[in-house]
Amino acid sequence: MLTNRNLGLDLMRLFAIYFVLIEHGGKNPFGDVLLGGLGVEIFFVLSGFLIGRIIIREFKDFKGYETFRHFWVNRWFRTLPLYYLALLVQILLSNKMEWGYLYYLVFLQNNFYGISLFPISWSLVVEEWFYLGLPFVFFLWNPSNQRSHFNVICFVTRSVVISTAASPTPPAAP
């Protein structure tokens, strides 16, 4: 059976899952090394790499807003239905209704409300805002613009530094 899977990427996923499970299981054989955080960072790197490849492919034939819409619809149909189902279950199990829960609907809980209702959602917030912002980076980096590679590298570097500085600190592992 032929497949488009990449063994190296699958191994990275395996280790990332293993690290997160070890951290949540409380049986970390490596002492003070925060394996859960490392696992999440590996997932973020994999996501950036894989999503970056998808969006580069889509932006080769840029069709304006349609390109953005196609990318966002494809990403959101993969993540949002299960997120909203899990959020609904969390709200029902909490036995209380607060206006602050509305921040969870638009992925602003990390910034304005806190994540006490659904702590694991902090990483999805980062992912969804990444999905929102990345197409604009590629749009601004349109190769048909006569920008030099140096200007593109400077733009991407500034974007990463600013977004990293503006990002909230993730919660400590339990």
d(CA 115, CA 147): 41
Over residues 5-21, the pLDDT tens digits come to 788 888 999 999 998 88
pLDDT for residue 162: 72
* The total number of residues written for the chain in this structure: 174
pLDDT of residue 170: 55
Asked whether the whole model's pTM tops 0.85, one would answer no
Res. 101 pLDDT band, cuts 50 70 90: confident
What pLDDT, in 10s, does the model give residues 60-90?
777 777 877 888 888 888 888 999 998 899 8
Cα–Cα distance for residue pair 171/116, rounded to 1 Å: 10
Higher-pLDDT residue of 173 and 92 is 92
**Nearest CA among 21, 46, 57 for reference residue 36:** 21
Q: CA 139 to CA 163: how far, in whole Å? A: 17
Three-class secondary structure of residue 63 per DSSP: coil
* High-pLDDT (> 70) share of the chain, %: 78
Domain edges within the chain: 1-60, 62-174
Tokens of 162: 């600013």
